[in-house]
Structure 1
């Protein structure tokens, strides 16, 4: 099914930049398939949808059919003045050996996916147990179900098994059964915690080792000029 609304294609031809972006995504509905889309970019770098199509699978024939219809709708006679930009990070798998696949993800970049060990050189699958986008490409290439590669601890059965047990309630001490010939349970031996380090500065040899401090003991208060003036009186 191909859809190209009149308002979308007229808007692209009137004011959008001469750039057409091409992309695709999986359809998660009951019938599955892929969604192909063509978008434009205005002067403010905002995406402007042009057309989209729902196809059974993403292959050369589907893209050729989609682009031929798009060319007729936009009345493109020559594509020399239009830049077509496809997905930059196109996830392309190739069989290596056994259940190992090599996924090309751009110039000079590739990943190794092992479906038996549930491992990918991207390391996200190994660390979290959730397959990464590179593994998804390989699984779809083999036409298998993603649920097959989901780790057991993410399943509903495992979650129910984790919380199927419960802690039984405990009776109070007054209802505990008496155990005869049982040695008394003594408290643990108290240990003195280590003391805090002293904060007194280490004095030099030529400094006095003791300092006499005056206290309030022996201080008498006398009335003088309506003011209380403290005087010091030394007690024997």
Structure 2
């Protein structure tokens, strides 16, 4: 890097913009860091380098800078022209201020966004919960179009999962998805939570129970202890199945630790697990193995028909033997007319004009003068273990 073509950026993040008694704007709190950058770089490269350095999402933050002759006047930093001006007038050192989404604005949007969703999309379910001291805790949203599609013909299997978020307020994103007639995942509900634990999963599943009604569904998930306990309370343990992919990855990791006869032994063990899970070795033969197929109940002792809704090889042989059409025994949720019903509905977008604004005294009000309360950010804690710097790779390879 050519020293004559570089500039040192003093970075400020995680604080807030406040105005003192003299009307000057200051950036208070947060953390600071520094980075040397080439003056010839583009704005997009600048944003990427800054976000990588500060370990923040590239989508969302806004940037400002100050000039040496007026440290209280924030200049916008939005494009290549602004970046060129900053490099030109900062005299070898620039102060860059990174503003994440406003706490008050974010929490106010959560509180009122649910009501706007219900008004624009009737029959939408949107509920949130906060602590006694006003901190956000839990949120669930199930759009009316998703509820309608599920009721029209999705398979009665719901997959639930979670993902930890890395934005400034942390927390976890919960999701619940079903399967449409093309066997693709169909989003049913999602939620935001301060952490992934038993209490959060119990609240999420209780609200999910309201979405699906009295239907007898199967819940699939990983083996998180909070999920196992809460599913058994809300849906009963008989309605809980564990994701085979997670089971196989855990089993593969276990075999790697044991070093079972090298790579070949591991592959043989995984193939044996597949044969148990899918019962692929069980086939109708000339008396060496018998499988009972019941066309009235639509069952086979290999369980493949019951699990997928599509007749297995053994069932197809019995159906053809009776002179029937195999397609008549495929469950309705795979058929085209149900796919049309599932995606018949549509979602209305939220109206974004006349959105509530924050006055200088911190009051949230809209264009008509109505005031709104606001929530404090959630109280979160770091998940156990060391922070991951990369995603976990598949254990199958």
Instruction: Please report the TM-score for the alignment, with normalisation by the length of structure 2.
Output: 0.24
The alignment's TM-score, normalised by the length of structure 1, stands at 0.39
Larger of the two Rg values belongs to structure: 1
> Does 1 or 2 have the higher relative contact order (CA < 8 Å, sep 6+)?
2
More helix, by proportion: 2
